């Protein structure tokens, strides 16, 4: 039996009856993730409940009081986090206690709410939407790195995407809802490259290496989708070749990194996105044939390629486990 239970029993923290039940119980299991999920839900329910309460009583409460309340909660949570956090380190830093992560999450959500409320009600940034999204993004990145919080890093990455989208097409996006397709594609291709570069930098410079997954996760999806969008956008022109070449180069880079780090998840992403690209070429080939036989060959291609894809994934998974 674990010495911890014996110690707790000796100190009188566990009764004789409970100690005997623990001794008889062989299959103990952890409720760590269940507790973390409940705590996260608690933070979300708290912020949602406060938002509904304020919304329904805004006429009697007043905007200034709401801002003061949000600022007080935010400042109080940040003071607690700065006082209780462990010293900064380039490696992974554990949370000082179980409540720390959730207080920090509440502080970050409160900060975003405060800035958003300030802009919506008082237009402190005017029509400079790029600045209105840049400041929260920089603050979130600072919080994520200083307090070593993956959840807030994901929020910062999402704000980076929002900032880049708003900065590139603020007038069309927010006033006319007119999307410049090429601009959007190139913007998010750049975003994907930045995120992948961030993933590489964390590992290369040994600085918050555990942040690599978050950067690479978003970077792979954004970059592949942008490249595929660029290919379909220029489907009828010669430049489509360069977009497909970009997909091939990205697939090679991610595949090599996935096999090196033994990550089946990123290997799966490479295969799936590559399958979409290859299938688009196959469809194009069958369309060019312009023959009745092509109509029958195309369904056979998808059936056969899908079966081959399944066997390929099973084989790669076995090899990776064996390695």
Describe the crossing of helices 150-168 and 129-147 by its angle, rounded to 10 degrees: 160
**Within 13 A of 301's CA, how many CA atoms are on the CB side?**
17
pLDDT of residue 46: 77
Ranges under pLDDT 50 in the chain: 1, 169-174, 176-179
What is the rounded CA–CA span in Å between residue 122 and residue 134?
A: 18
DSSP state letter for 210: G
Q: What is the pTM of this model?
A: 0.81
Residue with tokens 């978050």: 214
pLDDT of residue 166: 59
What is the rounded CA–CA span in Å between residue 80 and residue 102?
A: 11
Of 80, 128, 124, residue with least CA distance to 102: 80
Angle CA 183–270–243, to nearest 5: 35
Residue with tokens 């894809």: 309
Contact 115/132 with Cβ under 8 angstroms? yes
Q: Which residues contact 97 (CB under 8 A, 6 or more apart)?
A: 84
pLDDT of residue 77: 93
pLDDT of residue 249: 97
Contact 133/163 with Cβ under 8 angstroms? yes
Describe the crossing of helices 100-122 and 32-56 by its angle, rounded to 10 degrees: 30
Q: Which residues contact 96 (CB under 8 A, 6 or more apart)?
A: 84, 85, 86
State in Å, rounded, how far the first CA of the chain is from the last one: 34
**Within 13 A of 11's CA, how many CA atoms are on the CB side?**
7
- Structural domain spans, the chain: 1-30, 36-179, 180-323
* H-type alpha helices, the chain: 3-10, 16-24, 32-56, 58-61, 63-84, 100-122, 129-147, 150-168, 170-171, 181-204, 212-233, 240-261, 264-289, 292-322
Q: Which residues contact 259 (CB under 8 A, 6 or more apart)?
A: 267, 320
pLDDT of residue 177: 42
pLDDT of residue 174: 43
Q: Which residues contact 143 (CB under 8 A, 6 or more apart)?
A: 104, 107, 108, 149, 152, 156
What is the rounded CA–CA span in Å between residue 74 and residue 76?
A: 6
């Amino acid at each position: 039996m674990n010495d911890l239970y014996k110690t707790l029993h000796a100190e009188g923290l566990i009764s004789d009856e409970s100690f005997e039940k623990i001794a008889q119980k062989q299959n103990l299991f952890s409720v760590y993730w269940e507790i973390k999920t409940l705590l996260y839900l608690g933070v979300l329910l708290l912020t949602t409940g406060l938002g509904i309460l304020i919304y329904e009583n805004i006429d009697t409460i007043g905007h200034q009081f709401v801002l003061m309340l949000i600022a007080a909660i935010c400042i109080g949570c940040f003071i607690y986090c700065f006082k209780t956090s462990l010293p900064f380190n380039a490696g992974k830093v554990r949370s000082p206690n179980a409540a720390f992560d959730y207080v920090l999450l509440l502080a970050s959500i409160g900060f975003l709410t405060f800035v958003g409320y300030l802009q919506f009600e008082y237009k402190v940034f005017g029509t400079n939407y790029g600045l209105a999204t840049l400041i929260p993004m920089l603050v979130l990145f600072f919080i994520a790195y200083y307090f070593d919080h993956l959840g807030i890093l994901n929020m910062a990455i999402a704000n980076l995407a929002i900032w880049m989208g708003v900065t590139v097409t603020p007038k069309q996006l927010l006033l006319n809802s007119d999307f410049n397709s090429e601009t959007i594609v190139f913007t998010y291709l750049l975003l994907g490259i930045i995120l992948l570069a961030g993933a590489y930098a964390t590992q290369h410079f040994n600085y918050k290496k555990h942040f690599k997954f978050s950067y690479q996760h978003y970077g792979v999806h954004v970059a592949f989708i942008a490249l595929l969008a660029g290919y379909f956008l220029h489907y009828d022109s010669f430049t489509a070749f360069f977009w497909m070449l970009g997909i091939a180069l990205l697939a090679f880079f991610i595949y090599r990194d996935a096999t090196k780090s033994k990550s089946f998840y990123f290997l799966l992403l490479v295969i799936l996105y590559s399958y979409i690209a290859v299938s688009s070429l196959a469809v194009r080939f069958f369309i060019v044939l312009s023959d009745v036989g092509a109509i029958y060959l195309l369904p056979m291609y998808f059936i056969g390629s899908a079966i081959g894809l399944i066997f390929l994934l099973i084989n790669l998974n076995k090899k990776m486990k064996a390695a």
